[in-house]
Amino acid sequence: MTVAEEADKYGLHRVGARPSLANYLRQTWERREFIYELAKARVQKQNQQNRLGMIWVILKPTLNAVMYGVIFGILQGDKKTADFPVFVVIGVFLFEFFTSSMNGGAKSITGNQALVQSLSFPRLSLPVAQITQNFLTLMPMLIVMFLYSVILGTVPKWTWFGIIPIIAIFTVFNMGVALICARITVHVRDFTQILPLVTRMLFYTSGVLFSVDRILASWPWLVTVFDYHPLYQTLQLARAMIMDNAEYNPFGWLVIGAWAIAALVFGLIFFWKAEERYGRAN
């Protein structure tokens, strides 16, 4: 009898061995309190390190919205959409959630190497905690986003509650992206140097600052491509729920839902497959 067979006979398992996916998810769920407390503690720590504290959470996307809104408003001229200030505020605030999720997820394992190498727990807990942290940060941002919308002339309406399922689906999508980036960074540390370029490219090509129908009207095939763009469709649905007289395409729900499920399933399996590698010393 081999050593492996002897160990299996007495219920012994190799240290750091990857559990089945079902057990992996169950173990992560059992640590949900740890995940939430870790996320909350990081939010509090982040606020304590800054002189303005929580104000920076609101100030950063606000300044970005003002800066990019002015620049791209001038560049687009007559091609900019109606209610352009509200259009930009919604785009910048929600895209900030995606950016922080992708960048934070990429560093969730490599940035917690001491914790990963000293304690035994499902490493999935770390990117989940990062998304939870970003979600907690998003809540006050949404309140301010709605406040800005009212100040800029948007009339409150019942469709504003439609932002709830949109954020839920968007969070699932961001979780999948974070899991994919987390594993890639473990194998290729230089990936974090490329991410700023990726996020910048997505920022300028996801309809955050411009109306695709207006700017790309001369390229109808490219407009059709954007119909399947997850970030663009998320922003469009959010704008349809919040803005007055904004165009609404129900097909967008199918697009963002399909992307969210695909990203989460692929990201989860992709991340789980490398579970045994996360605790190894560099």
The predicted model gives 214-243 an average pLDDT of 88
Q: 280 to each of 85, 118, 123, how far by Cα in Å?
A: 49, 10, 12
Residue 34: pLDDT over 80: yes
pLDDT digits (tens, 9 = 90+) for 65-100: 878 777 777 767 676 777 888 899 999 999 999 999
Q: Report the pLDDT value the prediction gives residue 56, as an integer from 0 to 100.
A: 67
- Whole-model pTM? 0.88
Q: Which residue did the predictor score with more confidence, 243 or 8?
A: 243
Reduce the DSSP state of residue 86 to 3 states and report it: helix
Whose CA is closest to 265, among 16, 20, 34, 21? 21
Q: Report the pLDDT value the prediction gives residue 54, as an integer from 0 to 100.
A: 65
Whose CA is closest to 208, among 77, 62, 59, 65? 65
Inter-axis angle of helices 84-106 and 191-205, nearest 10: 160
Q: CA-CA distance, 239 to 95, in Å (whole number)?
A: 13
113, 65 in Cβ contact below 8 A?
no
The predicted model gives 101-119 an average pLDDT of 86
Over the chain, what is the mean pLDDT?
85
Residue 7: pLDDT over 50: no
